[in-house]
Amino acid sequence: MILDELARHAQERVAEAKKAVSLAEIMAKAKALPKGDFRFEKALSGKNTSFICEVKKASPSKGVIDEQFDYLATAMLYEDAGADCVSVLTEPKWFLGSNDIFRAIRLAVDLPLLRKDFTVDEYQIYEAKCMGADAVLLICALLDTETLRRYLAVCDGLGLSALVEAHDERELSSAVRAGARVIGVNNRNLKDFSVDLTNAARLRGMAPAGTVFVAESGVASPEDAAALRRAGADALLVGEYLMRALDKEGALQGLKEAVR
């Protein structure tokens, strides 16, 4: 399963990173920075539908999505077009992302940034803080409830938000028990990469009142965005549709119009 491979590779990357900068060192660096104000989750709250627009070059299911991949121009276009937050892939092997891409985008845009990677060690949370992230991704399929709870506490201590991602009832229940405030339901099954746009609608009722509910993946048209809004999504995370669009600003405007 690709998710297992992604997790294994993430563990290898963390082991390498620790050789250069120890857990104690990166923890101290992260804690010395000003505490964040959870602006990622604030940006997604209190609106009709918010948009998290993703910067990614490739994916395991589709291969290379954007050959040119001018990531700075893309992130700045998202900001100009009214994105609420930007998600940046840092996974290098299958998504062709990097921490350097994230840092460059952090310098270029003021929007809240989600460091999107496969978190398997708390080291990555401190690393994200040091890179200027406002939020990290925690995937329920990779982390049991107790680990989720512990990682959420680390995030809270740093002022970082966490997008806690679930795909089915069991995972969403784990996210709720762990105390997630921002819950994402992935319409893509990370085990076989099949997409079911009704998955978020099916699970919407399990998310407690007061949580921010994010529908992730599968948006391929303004009609899809409108359907997810009707299903009760507070925010949409959109990647491939925007990355493939020649007119990214126009594509995002079309999505925003569809959910009004």
Among 41, 91, 127, 165, the one annotated catalytic: 165
**Is 12 a residue of the active site?**
no
Among 87, 161, 186, 187, the one annotated catalytic: 186
**Is 56 a residue of the active site?**
yes
Among 54, 91, 122, 127, the one annotated catalytic: 54
Euclidean distance between CA atoms 242 and 173, whole angstroms: 31
Indicate the SS3 state at residue 182.
strand
Among 57, 59, 99, 116, the one annotated catalytic: 116
Residue type (1 letter), 136: V
**Is 217 a residue of the active site?**
yes
Among 91, 122, 216, 240, the one annotated catalytic: 216
Residue showing tokens 């398997």: 120
Indicate the SS3 state at residue 240.
helix
| DSSP label at residue 23 | H
Using an 8 Å Cβ cutoff, are 216 and 186 in contact? yes
**Is 42 a residue of the active site?**
no
Among 50, 59, 187, 217, the one annotated catalytic: 217
DSSP codes joined into one string, 123-178: HHHHHHHHHT-SEEEEETTTS-HHHHHHHHHHHHHHT-EEEEEESSHHHHHHHHHH
**Is 146 a residue of the active site?**
no
**Count of helix runs (H) and strand runs (E) in the chain:** 12, 10
- Catalytic residues, by residue number, are 54, 56, 116, 165, 186, 216-217
